[in-house]
């Protein structure tokens, strides 16, 4: 039986770590998942059987499960030896998450340990250890937007990965904080000692989107919150860093499916 240690929870997510005490005699088991869960394998391996599919899940991979997914977990050797950092999406039903059942249709419940996946685990662990719970929510939410088919490149060395992750996270936090300012990719790259082109490539690989798109998403999310608070469209436009009202309105409508004036009204 696994040993579970709760690390943090909110109404939306629950984060915990589990492993297998050495004194416990493990047996393979089968169960039906009752939630959307992402489990980062930090150490060890285990065998996963879902339907006709078989996977060896290794350290660095992520096991994805969804409500109703029947799976069997087993091991080779004397018993389970995996340690996992897991996230449960508690509010998935209220949020309407995966209404198209893409997780079930994909039929691949394992994300390989790409640099992007490594970055999400790195950020989640760092956020929990420093009790930066807003950052923990960001990284937890991000893993549920990943898809099993996500492509990956060759893995960075541990030293290189840590160097890149620190710099990308510094920039991501700066964008979240200073999204209303006039930010450029070249300035962001220089602030962490990287060339613009190299920084852009690494940012895309770890964040999953180019810097300008991440900035736009951050501005639009802030704009929606301001409009819901009752601020005018024009005030919101310039407060969020947009320099053109028409561009703001078009971008907002593409992102949220409606004009900002309708939300303000």
Looking at residue 147, what is its pLDDT?
A: 64
Looking at residue 25, what is its pLDDT?
A: 60
Q: Helix (H, G, I), strand (E, B), or coil: what is residue 184? A: coil
pLDDT tens-digit profile of 154-193?
899 999 999 999 999 999 999 999 999 999 999 999 999 9
154 or 21: whose pLDDT is higher? 154
Domain ranges of the chain: 3-114, 156-265
* pTM > 0.85: yes or no: yes
Looking at residue 28, what is its pLDDT?
A: 83
Q: Please, which residues have CB within 8 angstroms of residue 87's CB and are 6 or more apart in sequence?
A: 13, 14, 15, 37, 38, 39, 124, 140, 143, 144
User: Residue 99 pLDDT > 60, yes or no?
Assistant: yes
Looking at residue 262, what is its pLDDT?
A: 84
Neighbours of 238 (CB within 10 A): 13
Mean pLDDT throughout 3-31?
A: 85
Of the candidate ranges 24-28, 81-85, 99-103, 228-232, the one whose mean pLDDT is the lowest: 24-28
Which regions of 58-109 does DSSP assign to beta strands (E)? Answer: 62-65, 70-74, 83-89
**Alpha-carbon gap, residue 85 to 169, rounded angstroms:** 20
CATH topology of domain 156-265: Arc Repressor Mutant, subunit A (1.10.10)
At the fourth CATH level, which superfamily is domain 3-114? Jelly Rolls (2.60.120.10)
């Amino acid at each position: 039986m696994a040993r579970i240690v709760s690390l943090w929870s909110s109404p939306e997510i629950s984060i915990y770590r589990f492993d297998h005490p050495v004194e416990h005699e493990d047996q393979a088991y089968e169960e039906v998942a009752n939630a959307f869960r992402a489990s980062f394998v930090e150490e060890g391996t285990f065998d996963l059987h879902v339907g006709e599919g078989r996977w060896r899940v290794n350290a660095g991979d992520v096991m994805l499960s969804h409500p109703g997914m029947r799976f069997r977990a087993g091991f080779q050797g004397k018993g389970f030896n995996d340690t996992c950092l897991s996230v449960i999406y508690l509010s998935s039903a209220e949020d309407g998450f995966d209404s198209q059942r893409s997780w079930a249709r994909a039929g691949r419940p394992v994300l390989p340990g790409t640099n992007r996946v490594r970055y999400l685990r790195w950020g989640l662990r760092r956020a929990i250890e420093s009790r930066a719970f807003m950052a923990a929510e960001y990284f937890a939410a991000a893993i549920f937007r990943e898809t099993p088919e996500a492509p990956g490149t060759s893995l960075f060395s541990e030293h290189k990965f840590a160097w890149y992750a620190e710099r990308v996270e510094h920039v991501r936090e700066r964008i979240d904080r200073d999204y209303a300012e006039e930010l450029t990719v070249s300035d962001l790259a220089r602030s962490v000692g990287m060339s613009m082109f190299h920084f852009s490539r690494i940012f895309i690989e770890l964040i999953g989107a180019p810097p300008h798109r991440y900035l736009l998403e951050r501005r639009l999310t802030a704009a929606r919150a301001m409009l819901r608070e009752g601020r005018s469209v024009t005030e919101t436009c310039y407060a969020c860093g947009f320099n053109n009202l028409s561009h703001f309105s078009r971008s907002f409508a593409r992102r949220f499916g409606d004009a900002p004036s309708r939300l303000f009204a």
